[in-house]
Structure 1
Amino acid sequence: MKGGNFYIVFAILQVISDLSAAEKYSFLVAGDPQYLAEKSKSPKQLDPYSEKANNRAIALLKSFSGRSIPEDHGGGKVSEKILGLINTGDLIDSADKTGGNYPAMQEFEWKRYKTDYGLTGKDGLIPFPVYEVHGNHDGPQGDTFIVNNIIERNQKRPGIVNRSDNGLHYSWNWGPLHCINLGIFVGKGDKRRNEHHYAPRSSLEFLREDLADEVGKSGRPVIISFHLHPNCPEYDWPEEDLEAFWKAIKAFNVLALFHGHTHGSPP
């Protein structure tokens, strides 16, 4: 990835808990802000493309509440009460790199992400809680200070009902909707498989346990978020892990899978 590459996806999912009711639950989904600092041993600002793109993204996220929805997208208005934002990873750009200016750049990028997005909806520019996962640019093996800080943030993240043993993966409820965040991708074991790129940090084990304990046979709707997309190359998402993922969710009422990672680039 080169500096200034961003992919922001926005989604409003409205879940009707009862066919006779009109109660709706609205939230946003975004991915790959990839905050990129200027190349310096002591960065003082973001790369200009990164600054511009992220400022626009924050403004857009803040603009959705009460906004009219085009008729060809269903019509109506976005709820005034947005429950939260799911961020599907690659929060910063430089944590997959080492040496030189990168340690200082990583610190600056992560500080800026937290300043802009906050956590609870009261401590950043985003006026609702944030639920992020890590991507490959945040630490391909899930062992960077960014990943460790996500684990710390999970202790304070609003509404969490379940966390993995390692503290990285977590779930929460929005009304009848059960939401699960599973890091970079869904796979078995803590470390990366031989001849594959990324470490799953035992996300498959947590998914199985969480579905059994928090959903069971209730039929409640579920959404699942992670960074990689299920159709990515096999060396990114191992075939045996992908097959196990499909098997794990087959019997459940999964409404949506949200991911990041795949996106275009600015000129």
Structure 2
Amino acid sequence: MKRIGIAFVVKILGTTGFVFSFLLVAAAQEAKVGCPALCDRDWAEGCTPNDTPPVSDFWAGPGVTDVTFLAFGDAQTSSGPANKNMLNARALNAADTVLSWTETSFGVNAPVGRVRGVIMAGDISNDGRDGRYMTEDNIAEFTDVYGLCGNAILKYPIFEGYGNHDYFTYDHLMYRLFLAHPVADSVSQRNPYRAGLVETAPGADGHYSWEWDNIHFVQLNLAPSDLVPAMNVAGARNPRQALRFLRQDLAKHVAGTNKRVVIVTHYGFYNSWDFDGWWTYSEANAYHDVIKYYDVIAHLHGHAHSTGFYHWRGIPVFNLGSPFYNAADSNPDGRGHFSVFRITDDFLYAGDAGWNPADPENDIVFPGKWYAKIPLHDRGVSQAIVCNPPPDRVRAGDRLELVAPEGSAFLWERNGEPLFDIPPRIAGVESRTLVINPVRESDSGLFTVGYDNGSGSKILVKSEPLLLRVQPGALPVSNLWTIAGLVLLLAVAGTCPRYTSH
């Protein structure tokens, strides 16, 4: 019995010692200067905050803006084809040698060149792991392919953000024990080595801003929000005070200047996707309240794995594309996609580029699924919508006509969301005249119309907003007779003698 008891005690002590040792090792990993995911890597080799760009002739002269950059979303390492990011980097590297703006019919006879860098709109990884505790290393693939300052396969500096997949949300004791979200944290750990930043968020928040010529760029990572969602895992999908950072950053670096602004997040503004459980309309409204007094010329996002262009509250929004060439639902053409941008003093040019996984360095369709030419000087000179009846005289039950300024390719919106024909009551959402008959009190809101004003742009400019407040409708005749009867009754009652007691 003594031998069995001693053996049992030794076994227990041995197990306890092993667990204690494992915890010590885990704690040591967590204590590595706050960067267990990145301390032992050479991803920052040759990178300093004062790096010069890889091309020397970016500057077009004093007071002149001419900025070209590439952008995509959802690198999402360890998901999809293993070679997708390698192929994507090769295609990005080839953009300045095989792509030309001439192909876009913009009237710009020039190649795509002088690329400043590459923007990545969230989802660095698929699972939020960084190799600790013998788990898969999602960061290694990203840093090995994209580097930081043009020091890996990608030849350009990269300005990445984290997305919803970059929070660790799985059942793993050692990640949960230390509340670890190392991939999301990695952005803040890389920021001190990133060139040209003008502002960085505190701690592990990871938000940052930089400037190319007169354009102020803000990387807000997951979403432009401060609202922390209720999740089963602490810290998951926490936007880490992104909206607060944006408010302070714009006030410090943009207010009182003529700078234009480009904002980058992972989430976008698709009703059937982004607002379907990822973030909310109220968060988006709070974001709009912060930016509405600034010259925001573009919002870039990922998340949907697809590519596209649309407006949200008058702001051009670009869904940047992704390397997921095998995803038939988002990229049915079997190509990976990124977006190409050029911003000058007068225009924002943008187009989708789709690369063939069999030959990503030569077979790049540009422009692909969409392209845009947005006049920047005329953005503040919009024309009014004509309302019949006048907007202060519209009552429920009326026939309402809204007439857009002269142009073509009309698209009506209410409260920043596209309208749809609902026959026979709502008609003409893609024509110059929008008819709502009968109009209802619930139709009240802020109406705008996007349209081609004949400037040669394929993109829609925005009208001045029209605020419509539909008043209650006139009472039916039967109700009027009822009211008249009551008035008459009260009048007669008022002539009756008043009896008093003596």
TM-score tier after normalising by the smaller chain length: 0.7 to 0.9
Amino acid at match of 1:263: H
Unpaired runs of 5+ residues, structure 2, are 1-58, 170-178, 307-325, 329-502
Aligned residues: 231
For normalisation by structure 1, the TM-score amounts to 0.77
Give the letter for the 1:172 counterpart: W
Correspondence list, 1:207-246, <5 A: 207-231=246-270, 232-233=274-275, 235-246=277-288
Measure how far apart 1:103 and its partner are: 6.4
State the partner residue of 1:10. Answer: none
Q: Describe the superposition over 1:82-139 as per-residue Cα deviations: whole angstroms up to 9, x where unpaired.
A: 111110011211228xxxx99622x1x3101101101111x21111211001011111
Q: What residue identity is the alignment partner of 1:165? A: P
For residue 156 of structure 1, the aligned residue among 184, 189, 193 is 193
Quote the residue 2:139 is aligned against: 110
Instruction: Show the 5 A alignment for 1:45-64.
Output: 49-51=81-83, 53-64=84-95
The answer to whether the Cα contact below 8 Å between 1:227 and 1:259 also exists between their aligned partners in 2 is: yes
Shift in alpha-carbon separation, 1:209–1:21, aligned structure 2, 3 A? closer
Hey, what's the Cα distance between the residues in 2 that align with 1:241 and 1:17? Answer: 38
- Give, in whole Å, the separation in 1 of the partners of 2:262 and 2:292: 13
1:131 aligns to 2:159 (yes or no): yes
In 1, Cα distance between equivalents of 2:127 and 2:237: 16
Q: Distance between the aligned counterparts of 1:185 and 1:87, measured in 2?
A: 14
* 8 A Cα contact 1:61 1:126, kept in partner: yes
Q: What secondary structure sits across from 1:114 in the alignment?
A: helix
Judged with a 3 Å threshold, the aligned counterparts in structure 2 of structure 1 residues 115 and 241 are, in CA distance, closer, same or farther, namely same
Q: Tell me how far apart the structure 1 counterparts of residues 257 and 303 of structure 2 sit (CA, whole Å).
A: 32
Name the SS of the counterpart of 1:242 in structure 2.
helix
CA distance in 2, matches of 1:143, 1:185: 20
Which amino acid in the other structure matches residue 57 of structure 1? N
Matched, 1:69 2:101: yes
Deviation (angstroms), 1:57? 0.9
Other structure's SS at 2:243 match: helix
The residue matched to 1:56 in structure 2 has which SS?
helix
Aligned-partner Cα distance in 2 for 1:23–1:171: 18
How far apart, CA to CA, are the structure 1 residues paired with 2:63 and 2:184?
Answer: 40
2: CA distance between counterparts of 1:259 and 1:64? 20
Query: Does the 8 A contact of 2:100 with 2:111 survive in 1?
Result: yes
* Pairing 1:203–2:242 present: yes
Q: Identical aligned pairs, as a percentage? A: 26
Q: How do 1:140-179 residues align onto structure 2 when only pairs under 5 Å count?
A: 144-166=181-203, 167-179=205-217
Residues 252 and 17 of structure 1: CA distance in aligned 2, closer, same or farther (over 3 Å): farther
Q: Read off the aligned partner of 1:202 and give its amino acid letter.
A: Q
2:451 counterpart residue number: none
SS in structure 2 of the partner of residue 50 of structure 1: coil
Judging changes above 3 Å, is the alpha-carbon distance between structure 1 residues 64 and 102 closer, same or farther for their aligned structure 2 residues?
Answer: farther
Matched, 1:88 2:88: no
Pairwise CA distance, 1:22: 6.7
Backbone CA RMSD of aligned residues: 3.0
2:303 alignment partner in structure 1: 261
> Deviation at 1:81?
1.9
The question of whether the paired residues in 2 share the 8 Å contact of 1:36 and 1:92 is answered with yes
Q: Report the 3-state secondary structure (helix = DSSP H, G, I; strand = E; otherwise coil) of the residue aligned with 2:82.
A: helix
Distance 2:191 2:60 in 1: 27
Q: Distance in 1 between matches of 2:187 and 2:208?
A: 11
What is residue 182 of structure 1 aligned with on the other side?
Answer: 220
